[in-house]
Amino acid sequence: MIHRLQRGLVPEKHHVALRVDGELAFEHCITRRGFDSVYTIAYHRRPPHWVRDEQDLGEHPGHVEAAWDGAVRRRHFQPARLPVGGSPFAARRLFLANPDVSVWFARPDADDDTLVANADGDELTFVHGGSGRVETPLGVVPFAAGDYVFVPRALPHRWRLDGPAFLLLVEGRSPLDLPKQFRNQVGQLTMDAPYCHRDFREPVWPEGGPQALGAPRLLKILRHGRVTLQELANDPFDVVGWDGQLWPYAFPIRAYQPRTGAVHLPPTTHITFAGSGYVVCSFVPRLVDTREGAIPCPYPHSSVDCDEFLFYVDGNFTSRRGIDAASVTLHPIGLPHGPHPGRYEASIGTTRTDEVAVMIDTFSPLLPTRFAREVEDPSYNRSWVQQAGGEQTGGGVKDPVAW
Ligand SMILES: [Fe+2]
């Protein structure tokens, strides 16, 4: 959804005959928001919609119920404790969900052994560790640690890994896009957007076209958390050409152009992607506030209409002790949060931060699953307890209080 691309052969107009080696190619229109939004038209050698067989494989093992599970509290999850193994599709585990967005983690160490397609939403995967490529009928997207990888809803693809990987998957129910404020009236990224068109890594058209990738004809489709296996009648990668504005891409988080203010700028200054009901923000190394006396560390705050998910990627996390790379904190609607006291004051006079983090702010509460609870640090919420006159030690309510 960045700009129009063309790869391979396309006829001079939509919906007219394209013949390849004397045979009529089959047009495949992939459209969003009905037929009103972005679209891509691909041309296949054989009908792309013919299926030889299909089978219901049941619930995806990583898709479990997300539900409210108790008192409101600030939470710390450690997805690095997930077992390593399996393909990206098989290894994914749902951590948090609401009606707008689901957040999964995966620690795969093998390629997808079939094609996969997520019919539940667009997928924005942040690659915390590992490298490889995503093969699609529209081309190949190479990726490395620190990249976001975008795969549109329902596009058949497979992940090929160079080794073990650590993935954070954001599954958006509505089309995930770049925020409107970064586009001009004809859709071009504005001069003051935090990225430019060149920052988005386009799919590479392989020599011989995608057909040369030898894609399997088995396709697993995820829908409502269940998996349907289709045996396709034809090679879904037999695309001779395509054009359009809907395509998979990679965006390196460090290509995000941060801003610095005279005083601390709010998280909205880090917005990178947006869908209905949520935004994804990127925190990257940057100079911090320039005014004398400015406090670069985030101020205690209550964003009272949002749940705030933060995934710590790299750097020295200035605001809270006990947080490491690959930590997730979840600060729910209704609770103020902010730095540990020492960190707040120590930040005065600093000139830069090297932190890298991915934040997801949602307007509906993000509910945890058992996969999140299994790797939760139960001490985190107690780290906010400030005893009178001193250190945060954990404390405890001495006398039970009836509500
Ligand atoms: Fe916050």
- 12-29 tens-digit pLDDT: 999 999 999 999 999 999
Given a cut of 50, whether residue 4 has pLDDT beyond it is yes
Looking at the fold, whether 83 and 203 belong to one and the same domain comes out as yes
End-to-end CA distance of the chain: 51
Tell me whether residue 31 is in a domain. no
pLDDT of 298 reads 87
pLDDT, tens only, 236-284: 999 999 999 999 999 999 999 999 999 999 999 999 999 999 999 999 9
Whether 401 is in a domain gets the answer no
Query: Residues 360, 366, 372, 375: is their CA dihedral positive or negative?
Result: positive
My answer on whether 208 and 332 are in the same domain is: no
Q: Alpha carbon of 269 to those of 30, 257, 295, 303: distances in Å?
A: 33, 10, 17, 15
Count up the domains in the chain and report the number. 2
Same domain for 225 and 263: no
pLDDT at position 31: 97
- In angstroms, the Cα distances linking 356 to 108, 259, 359 are 22, 14, 10
Separation of CA 102 and ligand 1 centre (Å): 19
Query: Which residues make beta-bridge pairs with 288?
Result: none
What's the pLDDT at 383? 78
* 314: CATH: 2.60.120.10
Structure-block tokens of residue 39: 């679209």
CB atoms within 10 A of CB 290: 12
Give yes or no: residues 217 and 279 share one domain.
no
Query: Does the pLDDT value for residue 387 go beyond 80?
Result: no
- pLDDT above 90 coverage of the chain, percent: 84
pLDDT digits (tens, 9 = 90+) for 369-379: 999 999 999 98
Does residue 332 belong to any structural domain of this protein? yes
Task: Write down the pLDDT at residue 24.
Answer: 98
Q: Which of 102-111, 245-254, 391-400 has the lowest mean pLDDT?
A: 391-400
Summarize the confidence of residues 308-329 as an average pLDDT. 83
Ligand 1 center to residue 281 CA distance, Å? Answer: 12
Domain of 311, in residue numbers: 254-376
Residue 89 lies in a domain: yes
Q: Of the candidates 358, 344, 348, which has an alpha carbon nearest to the alpha carbon of residue 315?
A: 358
Task: Judge if 214 and 277 occupy the same domain.
Answer: no
Q: Which sign does the torsion angle of CA 115, 118, 119, 125 carry? A: negative
Confidence of residue 386 (pLDDT cuts 50, 70, 90): low
What's this model's pTM, rounded to 2 decimal places? 0.95
- Residue 77 placed within a domain: yes
Assess whether pLDDT exceeds 80 at residue 400.
Answer: no
Computed over every residue of the chain, the mean pLDDT equals: 93
Final residue of a domain: which of 190, 206, 234? 234
Burial of residue 373 (CB within 10 Å: 0-12, 13-18, 19+) is middle
**Domain assignment of residue 387, yes or no:** no
What spacing in Å lies between the alpha carbon of 397 and ligand 1's midpoint? 26
Q: Using the mean position of ligand 1's atoms as its centre, give its distance from the Cα of residue 384 in Å.
A: 14
Structure confidence at residue 217 (pLDDT): 97
Q: Are residues 294 and 341 in the same domain?
A: yes
Residue-level pLDDT at 151: 98
Q: Which residues crowd ion ligand 1, with CB under 5 Å?
A: 308
Rounded CA-CA distance 134/122 in Å is 15
Task: State in Å: Cα 333 to ligand 1 middle.
Answer: 10
Confidence of residue 156 (pLDDT cuts 50, 70, 90): very high
Q: Are residues 85 and 191 in the same domain?
A: yes
Task: Report the 10 Å Cβ neighbour count for 360.
Answer: 26
Please indicate, yes or no, whether residues 178 and 266 belong to a single structural domain of this protein.
no
